[in-house]
């Protein structure tokens, strides 16, 4: 009787360890595909610092400011004809409708970051027939 019980304990222990080994497998430690990993949440490798996420108190932020003389100026002129009525647009009525300044980032082999400011001007004119403001945006 004791032999029978100890044999059954050995068999059941083997089944439990086999089941545990099967359950612990995922796409990281076996050939299983990631969709079959289950609904387990992934854990971040970062350790908690105690600080709230986002901008920290008393830390002065920085931003790119508009420069007076950019490296280059790109003019986005008017289309030749009105999108609304197809009429040729009057160039004397054109005015700068929008002015943006963009900054081109260039990372050189010398590991130096160069920021080149660029002005982009978009013209606009009023089409009387289509009664819409036309132009190309930057």
CA atoms of 21 and 39, how far apart (whole Å) = 18
CA atoms of 98 and 76, how far apart (whole Å) = 10
Angle at 106 between CA 102 and CA 112, to 5 degrees: 130
- Domain residue spans of the chain: 2-30, 72-135
H helical segments located in the chain: 2-23
| pLDDT > 80? residue 65 | yes
Specify the pLDDT at position 90. 65
Specify the pLDDT at position 35. 77
Which of the four pLDDT bands, split at 50, 70 and 90, describes residue 138? very low
Specify the pLDDT at position 126. 59
CB-based contacts of 61-64 (< 8 A; 24+ apart in sequence): 64/103, 64/115
Q: Find the mean pLDDT for residues 112-133.
A: 68
Smallest CA-to-CA distance from 136 within 117, 119, 121 is with 121
| pLDDT > 60? residue 16 | yes
């Amino acid at each position: 009787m004791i032999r029978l019980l100890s044999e059954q304990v050995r068999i059941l222990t083997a089944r439990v360890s086999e089941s545990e080994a099967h359950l612990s497998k995922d796409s990281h430690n076996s050939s299983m595909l990631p969709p079959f990993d289950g609904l387990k949440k992934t854990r971040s490798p970062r350790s908690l610092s105690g600080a709230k996420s986002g901008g920290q108190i008393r830390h002065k932020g920085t931003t790119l400011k508009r420069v007076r003389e950019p490296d280059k100026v790109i003019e986005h002129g008017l289309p030749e004809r009105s999108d609304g009525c197809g009429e040729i647009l009057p160039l004397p009525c054109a005015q700068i409708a929008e002015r943006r300044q963009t900054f081109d980032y260039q990372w050189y082999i010398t590991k130096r970051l160069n920021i080149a400011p660029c002005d982009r001007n978009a013209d606009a004119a009023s089409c009387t027939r289509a009664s819409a403001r036309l132009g190309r945006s930057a």
